[in-house]
Structure 1
Amino acid sequence: MLESLVLDRVQTRLDGLAAQRVPALAVVLPGGRRIGPADAPVCLTLRSLTPLAWLAAGQVGRVAEAHVRGRLDIAGRMRDVVEVAFALVREDPTAAAPLARWAEMLRHGRSLVRHRVPADARQVQQHYDVSDAFYALWLDPRRIYSCAYWRDPAMSLAQAQEAKLEHICRKLRLTPGERFLDIGAGWGGLLLWAAEHHGVHGSGITLSRHQHAHVNRLIEARGLGGRVQMRLLDYRQLPEDEPFDKIASVGMFEHVGRANLPRYFAKIRRLLKPGGLLLNHGITAGGTRNAQLGAGIGDFIERYIFPGGELLHVSHVLRVMAEAGLEGLDTENLRPHYARTLWAWSDALEARLDEAARVSGEATVRAYRLYLAGSAAAFERGWMALHQTLAAHPTGDPADGPMRGAQSAYPFNRDYMSR
């Protein structure tokens, strides 16, 4: 009786897809019975009936988890798959959780526990140390694992990533000889670009052993040992005796956690010289009160992709930044740029699935296929955003800076960013 009721609900959901003008979906049950059109471009083949209830309820994150665990197979183009999946979602994924006040208190406590120094190291290594060879299959040659900047729509992914690096360096007004810090330097793309194209003395930190070793090999190969260093270090452990002229944090603050965000920006302020500039680049929430996406999507990402990751709305980020003594100067939303970046990564991974499975395992490939395509579609829908925020450590003296009252290196116009 219960099974029949669930099957009826699934059939109703499948019929409803046609009204939403999305690709059709078919479901093949363990005994071979097929529900849905024979020519549906997306098909789920179930090994048990358990995922049916999640499908009927629109819990697409649970369906994705079943796929990673090998309990069902998904056939179809990833663009069609995510169109169907998001059409099945029955709730606003950016809405606040029920009992929002108590949920906020619970999130704060969990955030404190999850973002201690040893825990952060384990979580970062779980994601970034999957396999260098795996990431190399679908990232650009510089292995830049953050939103690209499509200054020209005709750019390749590699060109758009270089445009992003230059965009950041121009925003920071980097000049030769300045001390530059890259927090969460990844595989070294920005750190090396800033040193080679803008002449800075660069310091990068990461918690990934693989990234640390890779960047140090590049530093040695390019003869930058006297000007660039890469350290395996938590940002909280950085010494503050020699503040930096400029600081960038790209794709890192998502790992900081809501509870630690005041400490994070306070630490950056102490690391930054008075008058110096910060560029904070990271994923932000589409909703003002949700810490992750609903419909089980956030739980899936937490379990299989970014353990410990937390989303914050840009308004919250700007408030905490200001309370830490950093003046927000310029905020740019690159949301559609990240959608296009993720689709480029997704397409590159789809073209090399067999190789990816050999170097990282089938479960990892299944998880990342859904993560990359699903995230691309989520950015297109505004469920998540990507904000670059330029901020300063004001000197306190109105006479400092290129314009009276600036109190920093910022000229209070945007012309220099595009010249």
Structure 2
Amino acid sequence: MWQAIFDRILSDFITRGTLRIRYPDGSEREYGDGTSPAAQISLHEAALLPRMVKNPEMAFGEGYMDGSLSIDEGGLENAMRIAIRSAAANPLPVVQRIQMRAEYLMRPLIQRNSVPLSKRNVAHHYDLSDDFYRLMLDPDMQYSCAYFQTPDMTLEQAQKAKKDHIARKLCLEPGMRVLDIGCGWGGLALTLAQKHGVRVTGLTLSENQHRTANQRIQAAGLHKQIQIRLLDYREVEDQFDRIVSVGMLEHVGAPQFQTYFDRISDLLHPEGVALIHSIGRNGPATNQSPWLSKYIFPGGYVPSLTELVGPVSRTGMWFLDIESLRLHYAKTLRCWRDRFEHNLDQVRAMYDDRFIRMWRFYLTACILVFEERDQTVFQLQLGHKRDAVPLTRDYLYQSPQPMRDAAE
């Protein structure tokens, strides 16, 4: 019964590309319009079929992870691209639409993200082995969208360009106090202190990142200039000339957006500048992927720009500039996935095959939502005063004059 239902759903739904399915009983069916991309999938267990009917996104991801589903031809990226393009061209099945609506109504509960829950959610992802992340990231451990000023840039060059672009938007002067919310392994804090002579307070909820960032700061001899605190942004009581937050807003959750921007407003000096760098959605508010929420980023949510305008406006701050980086993150993710696959033997020495398939699925899905769907990266430049930064963008594209070069 479930195979017949699934077959009927795919016959109506897959209209872009060519998808061949080998069912558990050995039968095969082809769906789509016969064009590229093409892929072949084998379903190895009959128990997977009802799950694919009821919640296809979750079942596909979990089936790939646990091996009850395999990609025989065309690769995972082609299989996912066919599904994404078909979803864009056709209405979703009724069952899935009802489920998505229910999940949307549950957002306040799913994304409540209290201080203790936020720390637990961060630990789930960021407290994996630092050695694992080193296999995938650039040496500075930048785990956010790079900035490819030219198409032939390496990942290292593009991540340096990202930090320089952010520094220009912050309009830094030596001696300024900078708050880095979600400072990761301390790379941006080190760059800002070394190149621009500012004092940085970094915040993280990850035990691993806190430890590694402090080790890097001690090694650089900058412990008097940089302080990394294991602290939630809601617990800070101080004021700063500049605030920067890179890749952290995605962990705040929609119910906390007003709290987040209220804290930015309260912590920012009256003449200060804040730069918020976040994955965003070029479309209306929707749900986070249930697979991504369960396995990769619990409590996470990618906001639409419309969801951010209201909370920022209610603080009284100005949008000094809004930039959409669009395909830069797809290029960044491809670099990470290439390095992940290149270092697979070392990854396998740390984690099992299920983990490897989970991360391959995560990286591939993220590439495709930037290339095929509505995700981008927003940089929001905010301030209390409308003239807190120059009135044209010329200053962003002049050669910076840092205090001294950083040790790259």
Q: TM-score range by the shorter chain?
A: 0.7 to 0.9
Partner of 1:220: 218
Is 1:259 paired with 2:250?
Answer: no
Change (3 A) 1:10 1:92: closer
Partner of 1:195: 193
What is the CA–CA distance in structure 2 between the aligned matches of 1:286 and 1:247, rounded to whole Å?
Answer: 25
Q: Which amino acid aligns with 1:276?
A: G
Match of 1:387 among 375, 378, 381: 378
Partner of 2:143: 145
The answer as to whether partners of 2:273 and 2:381 remain within 8 angstroms in 1 is yes
Partner of 2:281: 285
C-alpha RMSD over aligned residues: 2.8
Unmatched tracts of structure 2, length 5 or more:
32-36, 399-408
Match of 1:51 among 30, 48, 51: 48
Tell me by how many angstroms 1:286 deviates: 3.3
Is 1:412 paired with 2:408?
Answer: no
The answer as to whether partners of 2:178 and 2:241 remain within 8 angstroms in 1 is yes
Partner of 1:83: 81
What is the CA–CA distance in structure 1 between the aligned matches of 2:231 and 2:351, rounded to whole Å?
Answer: 26
List aligned pairs for 1:67-82, cutoff 5 A. Answer: 67-75=64-72, 76-82=74-80
What SS does structure 1 have at the residue aligned with 2:285? Answer: coil
Tell me by how many angstroms 1:251 deviates: 0.4
The answer as to whether partners of 1:291 and 1:312 remain within 8 angstroms in 2 is no
Q: Which amino acid aligns with 1:108?
A: P
Structure 1: 4+ residue segments shifted above 6 A: 99-103
What is the CA–CA distance in structure 1 between the aligned matches of 2:188 and 2:178, rounded to whole Å?
Answer: 11
What SS does structure 1 have at the residue aligned with 2:178? Answer: strand
List aligned pairs for 1:323-402, cutoff 5 A. Answer: 323-394=314-385
The answer as to whether partners of 1:284 and 1:314 remain within 8 angstroms in 2 is yes
Tell me by how many angstroms 1:117 deviates: 0.6
- Higher mean C-alpha deviation, range 153-162 or range 48-57: 48-57
Change (3 A) 1:373 1:100: closer
Is 1:128 paired with 2:119?
Answer: no
Change (3 A) 1:232 1:48: same
TM-score by length of 1: 0.85
What is the CA–CA distance in structure 2 between the aligned matches of 1:102 and 1:7, rounded to whole Å?
Answer: 22
What is the CA–CA distance in structure 2 between the aligned matches of 1:231 and 1:82, rounded to whole Å?
Answer: 40
List aligned pairs for 1:138-217, cutoff 5 A. Answer: 138-217=136-215
Q: Residue deviations 1:314-338, cap 9 Å, x none?
A: 1221221121222111000112111
Tell me by how many angstroms 1:32 deviates: 4.4
Q: Which amino acid aligns with 1:122?
A: R
What is the CA–CA distance in structure 1 between the aligned matches of 2:85 and 2:47, rounded to whole Å?
Answer: 20
Alignment coverage as a number of residue pairs: 389
The answer as to whether partners of 2:57 and 2:291 remain within 8 angstroms in 1 is no
What SS does structure 1 have at the residue aligned with 2:229? Answer: strand
Q: Which amino acid aligns with 1:221?
A: A
The answer as to whether partners of 2:111 and 2:300 remain within 8 angstroms in 1 is no
Q: Residue deviations 1:163-196, cap 9 Å, x none?
A: 0000000001112111111100111121111111
What SS does structure 2 have at the residue aligned with 1:335? Answer: coil
What is the CA–CA distance in structure 2 between the aligned matches of 1:104 and 1:88, rounded to whole Å?
Answer: 22
Query: What is the percentage of aligned positions where both structures have the same residue?
Result: 37
Q: Residue deviations 1:181-215, cap 9 Å, x none?
A: 11001111211111111111111110111111111
What is the CA–CA distance in structure 1 between the aligned matches of 2:79 and 2:344, rounded to whole Å?
Answer: 16
Partner of 2:303: 312
Q: Which amino acid aligns with 1:415?
A: D
What is the CA–CA distance in structure 2 between the aligned matches of 1:97 and 1:256, rounded to whole Å?
Answer: 25
Q: Which amino acid aligns with 1:5?
A: A
Tell me by how many angstroms 1:4 deviates: 5.3
Tell me by how many angstroms 1:68 deviates: 1.6
